[in-house]
Each structure stands twice: as C-alpha cells, then as structure tokens.
A and B are shown apart, each in its own frame.
Chain A
Amino acid sequence: MKAVLFSTDFAIDSDGNPRLLEVNTDTVVYPAFTSSLVLTNLTDVINSNPEITEFHVVHKPKIHSAFVNLLSSSVAANCTNIEKYGTTEVNLESLYPTNPADSGSKFILRLAYDENAVFDSTYAKSNFNTIKLMYDNDATSSIGEIFHSSSAGVLDTLTGTKGSNDYLPDYILKNSSQPAIDFQFYSVTGSVSDANTIIADAKALTSDTTYIEKYYYSPDQVTNNKVSSLRSYDILYGTDLEIIKLGSGSYDAIFNFQTGSSFRELQTSGSSFSSITRKHFYEFTTKFPQTKRSDGLLGEELIERPDGTYVSASLIESGSWVKSFFYSGSPNTDDMDIVDAWSKTGYDTPAGSLIRSASVYSTGSSEVSDSGLQQLEIEGSSDFLNLGLNTRVMVYSTSSNETSYVAAQSIDPDDHYLVNPISGSLIDITQNYFAVANSTPSFHAIDIEPDDIYFTKIGGLPIKITVTVHNRKPE
C-alpha cells in the first residue's frame, strides 16, 4: 500500500474561515507541530490491515529525520504486526526518488517529492493548479477571491473589496506558471472604494502567467501585530486515496507588521493599487524562510585571493584566481547531496591537505525575492558575514565531534564552530540571525577548480577570521 505525506496551508478570513493557499509534498514536519501529531491515526490504519508486515519510509534525511524517528517509534510501539521496518533515503535535491516495489504486505510512506507522481508534479508544485482545481469544482468559498486569464482558463471571483487594516496588503499577485514565492503585495489606495475600479485595476496587474488573489487575515487572530495561518498534515493512502489526519495548528508570521505609515497612501499613478516592498514578506506571510536560489555570499562580502588580498563577491570574475584549499578526504564534487553527506571525525586538518589556488570557472548571482539572508556573528566583530541560507560553511559540531559542511540556515551557535583548516583551529560563532534586507539582496556564487573550498572573512575584527565556504555551480 502506497501513501504520501502532505501538508496544506490556509489563510484565515475575517469571519475565521480557512481559505486554501497551497498543498505541499516534500513537506517538513516542523518541531513546533510535534505536539499536535496524532500518530495513532496512522498506526490504527496499519493495524486494520493485518496483512501489512512491513513499514517503509521514503524520505530525505536532511529534512525528515526527526519526523522519521517519531514514526518509527510509534510504529514499533503500536504495530505488533510489523516485522520489518525499512527506509529509502533520498538526496535533498532529488526529484525522482527510487520507490520500493509495492505489495499487499507493505505500507510505503513517501515523504520525499516525486516528479513522477501527479499529486506532486501538478498540485504540490503549482499553487495555481491547486486553486484552479477547487475553482473548477465550484469550491470558491474555500479559496481566496481570484482573477486569472490565460489559455488555461479564466478564474474570476473578485468582488472588489479591500481589507480593514491600513498596514496589511489587500491583494497578492502570484506566479501561475511555475513554483515560486515571487509574491507582489498590493494595497488599494485609501480613498478608493468603488468595487468596479478595484476589480479593473486588479485585473490590469495580471498577465497570462500570473494571478491575483485577495489577501486574507482574521483580526481575531492577529496578536502583537503578527498575522497567523493554519497548517494541516495529512497522509493520502491506498488505491481509494483515503486520508489520515496527522496533525494541525495555527502559527504566526516570523515578524510583526509595521504600523505608523499606511500602505494605502502609496498610490501608484494611474491605478488605485500600490505595490508594497518585498521586505515585508515575512510580516504578511507565515512562511518559513525560503531557500531556493539562496546560495552564495552577499555582494559586499570578500573572497580571499591567492596573495591574501580580497575581492568583493560581486566583483569577482571568471578566469580570476582565489585562495583555495585541498582538504584531503573531502569530496571533490559540486554535487551538494554528496557534499552534505560528507563528514569526518574531529576538526584536525587531515594529512595531505594543502593551501592552493583555484581558478574561478564561473560566477553567478541570484536575487531572492523574499529579501531573506543569514547573518553569522563572531565575538569581537562589529560586522556580520551575510550569506544565503543554503550556503555551505565548514563547521565542527561539538555534539557529534564531526566536521562537515552545513547550510548557513542550520548553523547552531550552541553546537557549531567555524573551522579554519589552514590553522586547524576553531572559531566561536556568537550568533546566527535570520535577517531581511531593506532591498532585494543578490547572492554571488562561484564555481572554482580544481578545489571546491575558498575563504571569506568576517570584517571589523583586528584579526582576520577565515570562513571556509564550499563552492557551488551558479544556477
């Protein structure tokens, strides 16, 4: 029997009703939701099928391991018929996991995204397809008011209203052609209330690759100027596509929204709509920080040259040279799944390692529309290292006694130290912040050869603090 874990996210309208926003596979069960999980709903289904003797999980250890541990414990404690527990581990960036052969004696729960599965590739991948499916089935009160027009069809339920809060958006423009969080928030000018004007101006913002949705929030669920949304975790299983409810809850935005200057005063010439800068993304949504395209260094960060001088990440050119390091035993690859899987005991630099120079094979930069970045702070420094959430940094973990490459968003100052392989020393990380820039940041990635690690530094210190960064092929 096959099954897939999925989550669904909902905005809450002013009457407290949920409005479906998206369906997700490859979904992370965040620790905060653990207490809401009722795993016996799953084990009861397994137990109701006594022919099932094997429980198998297809998952990505980097994002699912904590949940897999909960699952295995619950199945072990509650399912006496289960004689075999198996797992298939999938690389973080894989789109096509290898699924075990199905049989009547197996319960195969897939946590990893599968491009071959229609549920994933059509609906989880595209919020628009999810919304359109609801619209096509007349479930318009379960989704937000929307307008879209293209060869895919016309969706038109806008009523031309605006919200009651001057400090929150009224509408969101979204991409319908690809999975993206390139949301553009809009506010309707305060003096405009005519529904036909609002509808016409909203429609004018769309193209055949975008759709516009009404922005919803519930005043009853705004606490300390933080909006909230709802999430449900469920399992879809069997040939009849039945649902197992696992858990759900309401959670807040990362940041509170700002008051004091109404967005409605920012009128755009010729339209009743005003666009709102993207730095408010994590005030208006409850999303967890987005990692797509968030790889590399902020342009102002410095990359060390072979002669010990530095060049800004935004200015480095293909064909130039940087100081690099051959770290004996570290995988010589740009495949991030292999890089992520590597670790070594301790933090001493292996024999045979050496400082070298590497040629910059290619460079690239990518903007992140949510304006999010990671800031590492080192004791004594008046500045931070600003880098993308997915940028792999060499760290030593005191809890595991291992050196590995860890994405900046996962660096834990209570556990991790920066590693300087040249001196074989550790550097204490004071704090790791998730930050939002005032303007849309660009991250600069370089691909170097023959080595894969290069050095940057955290400024403002009397001594140079070396940060060891794994390169990445620019997308």
Chain B
Amino acid sequence: MADIYKKIINKEQKGRLVSAMTTSQSEKVQNIVQNFITYFKNA
C-alpha cells in the first residue's frame, strides 16, 4: 500500500476557487506585466 502523506478528491483540487485581487494588487500586477513586455521588446 502506497505511503501517502495527503490526498484530496481530484475534482476538489481542480475546482479550487479564485478570488479577486485587491485593486492595488491588480494594478501592481499589470504594471509588472507591462514592464516585462517592455523589457522583452527591448531585449
């Protein structure tokens, strides 16, 4: 018998809920994405 540490019903791990970012986080994330693309363009 396999030595299992933890397990979860497959559908539950696939169905993890997503919550909205805060406005501040969303702005910061988008800023980093934009910067990355700018650096990529210039690379």
- Contact between B4 and A250, CB atoms less than 8 A apart: no
C-alpha spacing A254/B24, complex, angstroms? 25
Of residues 1 through 43 on chain B, the ones whose CB sits less than 8 Å from some CB of chain A are: 1-11, 13-22, 24-26, 28-30, 32-37, 39-41, 43
A252 at the interface (CB under 8 A from B): yes
Listed from nearest, the 4 A-B pairs whose CB atoms lie closest are: A435-B7, A249-B18, A32-B18, A432-B10
List chain A positions with a Cβ less than 8 A from chain B.
8, 10, 12, 16-18, 20, 23, 30-33, 35-36, 119, 123, 130, 133-134, 136-137, 139, 142, 230, 232, 234, 236, 241, 243, 245, 248-252, 254-255, 279, 282, 288-289, 298, 300, 371, 373-375, 383-384, 386, 409, 411-412, 431-439, 441
- Contact between A383 and B1, CB atoms less than 8 A apart: yes
- Contact between B33 and A232, CB atoms less than 8 A apart: yes
Residues of B within 8 A of A123 (CB): 40
- Contact between A31 and B15, CB atoms less than 8 A apart: yes
A-B contact pairs, 18 of them (CB 8 A): A8-B36, A23-B36, A31-B15, A36-B18, A119-B40, A134-B36, A234-B33, A241-B40, A241-B41, A248-B29, A251-B19, A254-B8, A255-B8, A288-B14, A432-B11, A433-B8, A435-B5, A437-B5
C-alpha spacing A230/B29, complex, angstroms? 8
Residues of B within 8 A of A436 (CB): 4-7
Residues of A within 8 A of B14 (CB): 30-31, 288
C-alpha spacing A457/B19, complex, angstroms? 41
- Contact between B13 and A373, CB atoms less than 8 A apart: no
List chain B positions with a Cβ less than 8 A from chain A.
1-11, 13-22, 24-26, 28-30, 32-37, 39-41, 43
Closest chain B residue, CB of each to CB of A432: B10
C-alpha spacing A134/B3, complex, angstroms? 41
Closest chain B residue, CB of each to CB of A123: B40
C-alpha spacing A142/B25, complex, angstroms? 12
A435-B36 contact, Cβ under 8 Å, with A249-B20, A251-B16, A289-B13: no
- Contact between B39 and A32, CB atoms less than 8 A apart: no
Q: Which of B11, B24, B29 contacts A8 (CB 8 A)?
A: B29
Residues of A within 8 A of B22 (CB): 16
- Contact between A435 and B20, CB atoms less than 8 A apart: no
Instruction: With both chains docked as a complex, state the minimum distance between the C-beta of A380 and any C-beta of chain B, in angstroms.
Output: 16
C-alpha spacing A435/B12, complex, angstroms? 12
Residues of A within 8 A of B1 (CB): 300, 383-384
- Contact between B30 and A241, CB atoms less than 8 A apart: no
C-alpha spacing A12/B34, complex, angstroms? 18
A130-B5 contact, Cβ under 8 Å, with A17-B28, A248-B29: no
- Contact between A434 and B4, CB atoms less than 8 A apart: no
A435-B28 contact, Cβ under 8 Å, with A249-B21, A250-B18, A251-B17: no
Instruction: With both chains docked as a complex, state the minimum distance between the C-beta of B8 and any C-beta of chain A, in angstroms.
Output: 6
- Contact between A254 and B13, CB atoms less than 8 A apart: yes
Residues of A within 8 A of B18 (CB): 30, 32-33, 35-36, 249-251
